[in-house]
Amino acid sequence: MTSITLRGNEIQLSGDLPAVGSQIPDFSLVGSNWAEVSKESLAGQNVVLSIFPSVDTATCAASVRAFNEQAAGLDNTTVVCVSADLPPAAARFCGAEGIENVVTGSTYRNPELLNTLGLRMVDGLLAGLAARAVLVIDANGVVQHSQLVAELSEEPDYDAALAALRS
């Protein structure tokens, strides 16, 4: 079982993140407009899944802002910010921040997705929520970049994720 830390305290995860070269499993999320955001609805596009516990934390909010800025210049790519936040909360955050270049996806109807991706925190203060990770998936559904952020309070490596889209 994989683990991460939160301020130095170890947290066990439900499994292992999908590896580079593997096919991303089917997924279904609820978008901020209550429409489904799924592997099928994003077929034929490059997809960045930015996964985190909640937009109501400083680091998670910073990652949404950073991907929003960088997503504006990406061709045939959708950035999906994935958390357990309810769709109205995600919509409210994005509206207040002027965020228009990312899509939000909630796991609240499909929390087992976090187990499938190996990202559900099984213990600790935030048990049940997602660990911080970034998956870059090409238009054929193949994982091109996979990062599990070892310390939950740190931001992901945006440059590495975006470089995977350019290669």
| Interval 135-146: pLDDT, tens | 999 999 999 999
Q: pTM of this prediction? A: 0.96
* DSSP code of residue 18: P
Return all residues near 23 (Cβ < 8 A) that are at least 6 apart: 141, 142, 143
Q: Are 14 and 124 in contact (CB under 8 A)?
A: no
Which of these, 108, 125, 117, lies nearest to 146 by C-alpha position? 117
Whether 60 sits among the annotated catalytic residues: the reply is: yes
If DSSP codes are grouped into helix, strand and coil, which group holds residue 25? coil
Integer Cα distance of 167 and 20 in angstroms: 13
List residues bridging with 5 in a β-sheet. 10, 151
Q: Are 137 and 143 in contact (CB under 8 A)?
A: yes
| Interval 5-53: pLDDT, tens | 999 999 999 999 999 999 999 999 999 999 999 999 999 999 999 999 9
Phi-psi region of 86 (alpha: psi -120 to 50; beta: other; left: phi over 0): beta
Sign of CA dihedral 28, 19, 136, 90: positive
Q: Are 50 and 81 in contact (CB under 8 A)?
A: yes
If DSSP codes are grouped into helix, strand and coil, which group holds residue 115? helix
| Interval 42-93: pLDDT, tens | 999 999 999 999 999 999 999 999 999 988 788 999 999 999 999 999 999 9
pLDDT of residue 22: 98
The whole-angstrom distance between residue 125's C-alpha and the CA centroid of its chain comes to 20
In CATH, the architecture of 3-166 is 3-Layer(aba) Sandwich (3.40)
pLDDT of residue 167: 75
pLDDT of residue 1: 66
Distance spanning both ends of the chain, measured CA to CA: 31
| pLDDT > 70? residue 134 | yes
pLDDT of residue 72: 79
Domain range annotation of the chain: 3-166
Of the candidates 11, 24, 47, 60, the residue annotated as catalytic is 60
Integer Cα distance of 121 and 123 in angstroms: 6
* DSSP code of residue 66: H
